[in-house]
């Protein structure tokens, strides 16, 4: 989801609008809209708003407010989160023309009569009424026709301003990402700003080699200590940069609604956001909520690093409730859910309360996925170190596929917890290609 701003500048009873009539192949061609555009890397909403207004109009905002946040979804275009601003005082001189289109002061009572995206009327109406806290999701089909407008969270006044009719709903469509609060959207922007400020291109290039398959554009190269620091600020409610909004973090291990909103706003765009997400869940103290958020996050994990980073400490105190979930994850067939389930089985069920049924559970996994088989091998190498007598028959009996069998032996032989005699025995059990 890309982040953008849209700014409506007021001058008494007039509104500055742009007629998009200059660019070829402009998505907005022929429509009247406010000014604005996409965030640059490292920008927050205000920085983007100030830059775009100056670049497109020559004006310098002096007094403004965030009027709302609008999510656009489409059957054709990339999802967009737009931060809606009202500017009521400004300096500078209005440009005669803009590369995007012609600028014109329009009487407010005529603004809604102009050609514009149909969904824009749903947020421009309450904005012209002076309202804030507007929170909507606007959906279009592949031909740019309005499908639905959903409004909730942020302002009862905004919801009350929505035109009535079947196209407007207060309930999100099934399968749609949650319509998070404006505060949660702002926290997400501040997180992104902090991550870009800490990025290291050389480290990104190094890290990308360790995590094959991760899209290069989603990894910016933030080192783990900085990610941990930022996650800790979020958990303590001390994140700076968004005023009171950012201070509404977790207290005493309980997550605020603001932070919960960000955690539910999936998928994240950056690998580093996923890593921070895993750090936060790992420190949670409420088992029920942690499990709910973990299960919500697992389908979006797409690399081994985030999968292995996710290790909630609270699971240790709730092993009885954890075990059925581990079984479900392993049975899911989803690569990183299976890997996570085997990892949790290794972490929490090879010491106290150990049972050979857990070895059976891990040995039952059959997969063509490298990262599943590698975790299975890691599990049995650890089991050989901790539960030698119980685990050895699974190697002797060739209960694993050949690759996983040999990889488990390799990792066990590399372990300092395996005796020299045990290592020699394991080496003799390696299987050749035909075995």
pLDDT at 27: 77
Among 284, 304, 319, residue whose Cα is nearest residue 374: 304
Domain assignment of residue 175, yes or no: no
Do 240 and 340 belong to one domain? no
Mean local confidence (pLDDT), 24-35: 81
Among 190, 175, 210, residue whose Cα is nearest residue 43: 190
Query: What are the Cα distances from residue 32, in Å, to 144, 302, 318?
Result: 15, 40, 57
pLDDT interval class at 208 (50, 70, 90): confident
Q: Kindly state the percentage of the chain with pLDDT values over 70.
A: 89
Among 98, 137, 133, 127, residue whose Cα is nearest residue 9: 127
Count Cβ atoms below 10 Å from residue 420 Cβ, excluding itself: 8
Do 39 and 141 belong to one domain? yes
pLDDT at 434: 66
pLDDT at 240: 61
Residue 58, phi-psi category: left (phi > 0), alpha (psi -120 to 50), beta (remainder): left
pLDDT interval class at 217 (50, 70, 90): low
pLDDT at 159: 37
Strand-strand pairing, 80-92 and 32-33: unpaired
pLDDT at 173: 47
Q: Kindly state the percentage of the chain with pLDDT values over 90.
A: 64
Domain assignment of residue 190, yes or no: yes
**Cα–Cα distance for residue pair 126/157, rounded to 1 Å:** 8
Count Cβ atoms below 10 Å from residue 139 Cβ, excluding itself: 19
Domain assignment of residue 105, yes or no: yes
Mean local confidence (pLDDT), 346-364: 95
Do 62 and 122 belong to one domain? yes
Domain assignment of residue 10, yes or no: yes
Mean local confidence (pLDDT), 145-155: 72
Residues 6+ apart with CB under 8 A from 297: 263, 266, 277, 278, 281, 310
Residues 6+ apart with CB under 8 A from 327: 341, 361
Do 296 and 348 belong to one domain? no
Tell me how many domains the chain contains: 3
pLDDT at 169: 46
Do 259 and 227 belong to one domain? yes
Q: Residue 196 pLDDT more than 70? A: yes
172-187 tens-digit pLDDT: 444 567 788 888 888 8
Mean local confidence (pLDDT), 65-88: 92
* Residue 354 main-chain phi, psi, to 5 deg: -60, 145
Q: How far is CA 366 from the centre of its chain?
A: 30
Report whether 32 contacts 115 (CB < 8 A): yes
Do 390 and 420 belong to one domain? yes
Q: Residue 153 pLDDT more than 60? A: no
Which domain covers residue 23, as residue numbers? 2-169
Task: Give the residue with greater pLDDT, 405 vs 435.
Answer: 405
**Omega prior to 267 cis, within 30 of 0:** yes
Do 79 and 118 belong to one domain? yes
On the CB side of 151, CA atoms within 13 Å amount to 23
pLDDT at 171: 44
Do 125 and 210 belong to one domain? no
Residue 161: CATH number of its domain: 3.90.79.10
Task: Give the residue with greater pLDDT, 14 vs 76.
Answer: 14
pLDDT interval class at 417 (50, 70, 90): very high
Q: Residue 203 pLDDT more than 60? A: yes
Do 104 and 227 belong to one domain? no
* Residue 146 main-chain phi, psi, to 5 deg: -65, 125
Domain assignment of residue 174, yes or no: no
Count Cβ atoms below 10 Å from residue 377 Cβ, excluding itself: 24
Do 268 and 288 belong to one domain? yes
Among 284, 212, 291, residue whose Cα is nearest residue 251: 284
Do 164 and 28 belong to one domain? yes
Among 91, 93, 108, residue whose Cα is nearest residue 34: 108
- pTM confidence score: 0.82
pLDDT at 376: 98
Residues 6+ apart with CB under 8 A from 385: 412, 415, 417, 418
Do 99 and 34 belong to one domain? yes
Tell me the average pLDDT of the chain.
Answer: 87
pLDDT interval class at 214 (50, 70, 90): low
| 26-40, 230-244, 292-306: the lowest-pLDDT one | 230-244
Q: Residue 301 pLDDT more than 60? A: yes
């Amino acid at each position: 989801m890309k982040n953008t701003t849209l700014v409506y500048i007021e001058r008494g009873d007039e509104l500055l609008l742009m007629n998009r009539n200059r660019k070829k192949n402009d998505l907005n061609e022929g429509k009247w809209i406010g000014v604005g555009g996409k965030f640059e890397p490292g920008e927050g909403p205000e920085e983007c708003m100030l830059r775009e207004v100056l670049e497109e109009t020559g004006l310098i905002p002096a007094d403004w407010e965030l009027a709302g946040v609008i999510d656009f979804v489409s059957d054709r275009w990339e999802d967009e989160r737009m931060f809606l601003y009202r500017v009521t005082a400004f300096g500078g001189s209005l440009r005669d023309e803009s590369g995007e289109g012609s600028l014109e002061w329009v009487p407010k009572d005529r603004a809604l009569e102009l050609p514009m995206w149909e969904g824009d009327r749903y947020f421009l109406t309450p904005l012209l009424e002076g309202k804030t806290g507007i929170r909507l999701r606007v959906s279009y089909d592949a031909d740019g026709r309005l499908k639905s407008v959903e409004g909730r969270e942020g302002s009862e006044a905004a919801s009350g301003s929505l035109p009535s009719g079947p196209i407007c709903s207060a309930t999100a469509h099934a399968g749609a990402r949650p319509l998070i609060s404006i505060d949660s959207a702002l926290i997400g922007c501040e997180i992104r700003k902090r991550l870009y400020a800490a990025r290291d291109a050389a480290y990104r290039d190094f890290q990308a080699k360790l995590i094959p398959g991760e899209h290069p554009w989603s990894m910016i190269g933030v080192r783990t200590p900085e990610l941990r620091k930022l996650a800790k600020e979020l958990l303590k409610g001390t994140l700076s940069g968004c005023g009171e909004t950012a201070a509404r973090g977790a207290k005493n291990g309980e997550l605020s609604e603001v932070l919960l909103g960000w955690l539910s706003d999936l998928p994240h765009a950056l690998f580093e956001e996923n890593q921070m997400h895993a750090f936060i869940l790992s420190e949670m103290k409420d088992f029920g909520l942690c499990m709910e958020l973990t299960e919500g996050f697992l389908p979006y994990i797409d690399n081994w690093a985030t999968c292995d980073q996710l290790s909630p400490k609270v699971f240790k105190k709730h092993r009885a409730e954890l075990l059925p979930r581990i079984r479900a994850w392993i049975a899911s067939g989803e690569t990183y859910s299976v890997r996570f389930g085997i990892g949790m089985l290794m972490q929490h069920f090879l010491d106290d309360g150990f049972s050979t049924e857990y070895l059976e559970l891990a040995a039952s996994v059959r997969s063509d996925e490298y990262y599943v088989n590698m975790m299975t091998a890691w599990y049995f190498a650890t089991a050989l170190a901790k539960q030698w007598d119980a685990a050895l028959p699974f190697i002797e009996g060739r209960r694993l596929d050949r690759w996983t069998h040999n990889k488990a032996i390799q990792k066990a032989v590399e372990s300092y917890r395996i005796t020299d005699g045990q290592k020699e025995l394991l080496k003799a059990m390696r299987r050749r290609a035909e075995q």
